[in-house]
Chain A
Amino acid sequence: SAVISQKPSRDICQRGTSLTIQCQVDSQVTMMFWYRQQPGQSLTLIATANQGSEATYESGFVIDKFPISRPNLTFSTLTVSNMSPEDSSIYLCSVQGQGNTEAFFGQGTRLTVV
């Protein structure tokens, strides 16, 4: 499986500010995804990061709030913009090969907004 490095691992941020989370993979991957896991909850897909084009967002998530970049097949960023305490969560990067293959996760970023 690919080695996925996600950073920062945690951060405490002031409301109204933005945080960019980076996800680096040690090999080229077809699919990259960003998930959110709120305390005590399961994983919710935010968006699919598409290489060279705009991300595909799930219902309830918008580009202005969660802009995503994917400049190449090994790297992606997720920005959480204009943060509020409700954005406090764990954010996870995930990679998959093409087709119905397994997904693997980065270590996650634990975000606390105060």
Chain B
Amino acid sequence: QKEVEQNSGPLSVPEGAIASLNCTYSDRGSQSFFWYRQYSGKSPELIMSIYSNGDKEDGRFTAQLNKASQYVSLLIRDSQPSDSATYLCAVNKARDKLIFGTGTRLQVFP
């Protein structure tokens, strides 16, 4: 079992729709959870962090964490073509290093 799992996609959604990206992790001791966006040829950019169970909203983005189910998700409302990118889920383990999932490629079509 991979430490952090994501569906590789592509996830295709029409412009204006809600994109839902999911991530599961194996280590119950994980404490911090992050979503990064990576455009092709660019380095990852942090878009959301979440540390406790529940929802956290920032603009069009909502991160959801359920530690009992070892599940974290990212919702993107009113998806735009500019949101088309690979979204990486990352989990913080002991000794502060981040473990990344394989990423989900999102395509938003007009």
Contact = CB atoms under 8 A, between A and B. Distances in A.
A100 B90 contact: no
Question: Which range contains the number of B residues in contact with the other chain?
Answer: 20 to 34
A24 to B, nearest CB: 15
A31 B94 CA distance: 13
B99 A96 contact: no
Mostly, the A contact residues are: strand
Question: Which range contains the number of A residues in contact with the other chain?
Answer: 20 to 34
Contacts of A107: 42-43
B34 A103 contact: yes
A96 B98 CA distance: 10
A92 B43 contact: yes
A8 B49 CA distance: 30
B84 to A, nearest CB: 16
Contacts of B49: 102
Contacts of B92: 100
Contacts of B99: 45
A23 to B, nearest CB: 12
Given A96-B96, A99-B96, A100-B96, A42 B46 contact: no
Interface of B: 31-32, 34, 42-46, 49, 51, 88, 90, 92, 95-103
Interface of A: 1, 31, 33, 41-45, 48, 56, 92, 94, 96, 98-108
10 contacts: A42-B88, A43-B88, A43-B100, A45-B98, A96-B98, A98-B96, A103-B98, A104-B46, A105-B44, A107-B42
